[in-house]
Chain A
Amino acid sequence: MSVGEPRVSPLGTSALLFDPPGETSLETQRRIWALAREAERWPELREAVPGVNNLLLTLERPPARLEPLVDRLLAAWRAVEPLPLGGRVFELAVRYGGEEGPHLADVVAHTRLSVEEIVARHTAPLYPVFAIGSHPGYCYLGGMDPRLSTPRRKVPVVSIPAGSVSIGGGQTGVSASAGPSGWNTIGRTEMVFFDPSLDPPIRVRPGDAIRFRVERVRPPIRLDGGRP
């Protein structure tokens, strides 16, 4: 595989994953949005769904040979012009730590930063919405301070509540509904991201941006509920 050429791999017989190399960047994401817009018009594809610097392509039916579709994707990738950001900004107030941020202690332990430093670094950026995924209305955000990176949990948590603000690897996000998660929950906010009665059913879209603001900070708890 030559450096710079995206990798296209089958996900069984029902989808392909398009995965360009390199560090995660907004520039690459803007090209991913453009490629998605182009590819979702192709009749052999059901959907072209951006992930974080990658693209899921679901197939109407598995083609006899993959190579022509792969070649077409690579050619389109070379030709696309990056799409601009949508420009809408959503500001979310976060209650950091305490019972609502049960894994803040793990982020402290891994990053060796103080709680104040973590909160300051987490509220500083304007986070572009890279992609929708994980669960209905959930936004994958770019732009997290790499110093906050914390590995996903060895064993996923059975359920974390809607509004949970969490860190997984080099990414951060907000749960749009209660459910299982492998990420580290550091706080909570209030926001309705998904409403099936709306058209489209999501409120925040790729190309929009989110900013976090401190509502309050509580000391981290240990998972057994005690104070460290």
Chain B
Amino acid sequence: MIEILETGGLASVQDLGRFAAFRWGLGTAGVMDPPALRAANLLLGNPEGAAAIEIQLFPFAVRFEADLDFALTGADCAATLDGAPLLPWSAGSARAGQLLRLDLPRDGARAGCRACLGLRGGIDVPIVLGSRSTQLRGSVGGFEGRHLRPGDRLPVGPEPEAPTLRASIVPPALALPLEVDGLPAVRALPAAEHDAFTAASGAAFWNEPWRITPQSDRYGYRLAGPVLEPETPLELRSHGIVPGVVQVPHGGQPIVQMRDGQPSGGYPKIATVIEADLWRLGQMPIGTRFRFLEVDWEEALAATAELESWLVRLRRVTSLLRARRIG
């Protein structure tokens, strides 16, 4: 068990997401930074998809009620255990009664904005409709289907056989940087209504920087930039959409669908951020200026393979370290 002592709000239990519940009207939910969750769980010897806490407002503090290993990945939040500093993207061991505290993410181009706190054994909340992720609308999964509050006590599952590793992981933001004209970038495929926008709007979408406005969260990122206009006003029939879809409402300012986004849309879609780059967006704080980079299907697959090979290397290294009993 761990107890939440302090939270700035909006912290939640998430795993990789709920991937077969669109048919009932549920989106995927799940962590905004899946590589960070996988890395935390690989360090801890957990299954890669074990549930963890995603933290997006700080400070955040928990107390361990029993001896327990933990791992911190995602944003580097100057974490401390009873005041002693901890390395980012690594695992630690807490004694019963110790206090783990996360503060505001450090500044820096690749600092990130969401931290992942994994626990050895994973957070043991019930699997609902295929996942432990918190689905806020409808109050499904996670811890009572809601954000965490001070006083909440979270159970952990049985310890895995593999030992915890005392290694640090090079985060994907450093291993797989992606910039365009000095700005962070995400790759996207044109979507169904891309060519229904004016040529000037299409060019602006791909060539101008976009700013993440304060009205951005796990549901969606509302962007500010040039006004995007379709050739003629479009009213579409409602259809399924997935995280990463970039819709353009009548106001002309795009909204990127994120993990808590609803599973359907009706605004024209200009593009979709590819799944392999959604973590990049998930770690961009409000106020970030970034670029969309247009890719075709082959380039999107290459990006997917690039992230996958980072993960394969990580799996290989962690199993090698365990084989040498360095853990």
Residues of chain A at the chain B interface (Cβ within 8 Å): 7, 9-15, 17, 19, 24, 46-47, 49, 51-56, 58, 62, 64-66, 131-138, 140, 151-152, 154-156, 168-171, 176-180, 182, 194, 196, 200-202
For B238-262 the 0/1 string (1 means CB < 8 A from A) is 1111111100011100000000001
B129 cross-chain contacts in A, Cβ below 8 A: 196, 201
The answer to whether residues A154 and B25 also contact, given A11-B191, A179-B137 and a CB cut-off of 8 A, is no
Contact of B249 with A156 in the complex, beta carbons under 8 Å: yes
A177 cross-chain contacts in B, Cβ below 8 A: 137-138
Among residues 231 to 289 in chain B, which have CB atoms less than 8 Å away from a CB atom of chain A? 235-245, 249-251, 262-264, 266-267, 269, 272-276
Contact of B191 with A134 in the complex, beta carbons under 8 Å: no
Contact of A56 with B237 in the complex, beta carbons under 8 Å: no
A194 cross-chain contacts in B, Cβ below 8 A: 24-25, 138
CA of A78 to CA of B235, assembled, Å: 26
Contact of A169 with B266 in the complex, beta carbons under 8 Å: yes
The answer to whether residues A47 and B23 also contact, given A62-B301, A137-B138 and a CB cut-off of 8 A, is yes
B228 at the interface (CB under 8 A from A): no
CB distance from B252 to the nearest CB of A (A): 10
B206 at the interface (CB under 8 A from A): no
B304 cross-chain contacts in A, Cβ below 8 A: 13, 62
Residue on B with the closest CB to A40? B23
Q: How many residues of B contact A (CB 8 A)?
A: 47
Contact of A13 among B135, B219, B300 (CB under 8 A): B300
Contact of A51 with B237 in the complex, beta carbons under 8 Å: yes
Interface of A is mostly: loop
CA of A52 to CA of B24, assembled, Å: 15
CA of A154 to CA of B251, assembled, Å: 6
Residues of chain B at the chain A interface (Cβ within 8 Å): 19-20, 22-26, 128-129, 135, 137-138, 140, 188-189, 191-192, 219, 235-245, 249-251, 262-264, 266-267, 269, 272-276, 297, 300-301, 304
B191 cross-chain contacts in A, Cβ below 8 A: 9-11
Known: A9-B191, A62-B297. 9 other contacts (CB 8 A): A13-B276, A52-B239, A54-B240, A133-B22, A154-B250, A169-B266, A179-B137, A182-B266, A196-B129
B275 cross-chain contacts in A, Cβ below 8 A: 12-14
CA of A66 to CA of B300, assembled, Å: 12
CB distance from B259 to the nearest CB of A (A): 12
CA of A179 to CA of B262, assembled, Å: 10
CB distance from B166 to the nearest CB of A (A): 33
CA of A19 to CA of B268, assembled, Å: 13
Contact of A136 with B140 in the complex, beta carbons under 8 Å: yes
